[in-house]
Structure 1
């Protein structure tokens, strides 16, 4: 039997829904009740999470005749001072939706009109679900309206609902608390990436192989990261750069010729469902305490968490936690001709920290700087 022809590369795909990684459709009651509940939930959760709501109008709206859309435009952007209005004429599919909602922590969806990968089911006799059971693919919570004490018989065909928690519709605080715990449980794991670099023209040798701490700087940084990550890797440009004798797990660049950007994109391509903390090999003063500080102050609601550089002018890109949502943003910058991680940080929504010890961010790029670093570090041993 001939081996089946593979038309497309086998890529690891991020775990996405119709709109976002974290989305909950609310269905089983009327649209006004759903919107009222959603607004209450947003009020209670918006200080902690960036939340979007997806709904549909029940009738076609007339576009103001002065609006650009009424005169043939396909997109109209209006700065309304306190918020921005972006109106499209074209329809969206899941691919466009995911790009549009990438910045959101959570998307709540009116399940009467749209589907989502997970659901909150409301049991309301006025809006029975017996003909919509196919929409209940991953129910996370059941909500009883007033007077309801048990699931309707039609739910007997969904045995997995027996383990789903139940709350009442008027218990908004309880529903909000459930969603908070749901979000905490979905916080992505953290992987580590040591940017091994390579032979530096200024240093005149491989920075990752320099011995500042009784071992190669590559292995030293790997060990620092491994204490805080689910798994750490060395980032190499290609097979010829690998130091096999060290026995450290590695990721080879699949994006080439982009410097550290190559390593970061290649890491996300390997695992797009984890956040990545990157550490460069030219920071010999970097301490375990500073790495712990960065991780303790991680903000998953941002594109990234980074320190301001030693001069407090720009974000330091090579000791940074890059969240899941950074992957499409990095690709977007690349598509516009930019491969500078710092430019991404400067022009994105990031969490910026002051480093506890400025010396930790001091780059070592020249032989004389290397000798000074060795003298300083050995003096402290």
Structure 2
């Protein structure tokens, strides 16, 4: 664990999706020899004060008990990543949350450290500009406590996408130091591309 400013940030790995497009649980894929949800949690644990894996209620019993879990408030079920972010703030409302999706097989610690080092606590969030569409990447983002009310208000208006909150509110958007690290893997086609980069054959367990 790194001391200083980083120890006031809690980490959350988003691993509760249904992985419909992938056809298998993305959190259980073995990109680096261990299930991805745990690989990501371990990465966050090296730079955050406390780390949780966001999962569905039906996943809790199958989780490794060495990792803390956080399930969505039933009020937000069906609201995607926004549900996980809001539920995290409701557990620790004064915390700053580093939110990371589990489907980022090329994400590295250096990228997350860069995000933390360039954090702007006076904005609602600090995030990266996606190299794919130049829009903010909401699922590799440091969300400040001030974002909670905004996210909840937007959800009440019917807006489930946290990206729109970043676009329409004062957030800090950084150019990623390693653009490839932001690569998502959501489909079997994406798996082939990432495996080519990693030089490995990925499976699930």
The TM-score normalised by the length of structure 1 is: 0.49
Q: Does 1:241 align with 2:59?
A: yes
Structure scoring higher RCO (CA < 8 A, sep ≥ 6) equals 2
Larger gyration radius, structure 1 or structure 2: 1
CA separation in 1, counterparts of 2:122 and 2:29?
Answer: 36
Q: Which residues of structure 1 form unaligned runs of 5+?
A: 1-184
1:250 aligned onto 2:69 = yes
Q: 2:133, 2:113 → 1: CA distance?
A: 20
In structure 2, the residue matched to 1:292 is 113
Conserved? CA contact 1:306–1:319, under 8 Å? yes
- Aligned position for 2:50: 231
Map 1:337-348 to 2 at 5 A: 337-348=158-169
- 8 Å CA contact 1:200–1:206 kept in 2: the answer is yes
Match of 2:12 among 193, 202, 206: 193
Query: RMSD over aligned Cα, in angstroms?
Result: 1.9
Give the superposition deviation at 1:371: 3.0
**More helix, by proportion:** 2
Which residue of the partner structure matches residue 213 of structure 1?
A: 32
Structure 1 CA distance, aligned partners of 2:53 and 2:23?
21
Divergent runs of 4+, >6 A: 185-188
Alignment of 1:305-344 (within 5 A): 305-344=126-165
State yes or no: 1:303 paired with 2:124: yes
Query: 2:197 maps to which residue?
Result: 376
Q: Confirm or deny: 8 A CA contact 2:52 2:67 kept in the other structure.
A: yes
Contact kept, 8 Å, 1:197 with 1:280, in 2: the verdict is: no
Partner of 1:280: 101
In the TM superposition, residue 322 of structure 1 has moved relative to its aligned partner by: 0.2
Partners in 2 of 1:283 and 1:310 — Cα distance? 14
Deviation at 1:186, TM superposition (A): 11
* CA distance in 2: counterparts of 1:213 and 1:246, whole angstroms: 20
Contact 2:6 2:116 in 1 (8 A): no
Distance in 2 separating the partners of 1:286 and 1:186: 21
Residues 195 and 235 in structure 1, CA contact (< 8 A), matched pair in contact too: yes
Q: Of 171, 181, 186, which aligns to 1:350?
A: 171
Deviations 1:101-126 (A, max 9, x none): xxxxxxxxxxxxxxxxxxxxxxxxxx
What is the CA distance between 1:249 and its match in structure 2? 0.3
TM-score normalized with structure 2 length: 0.89
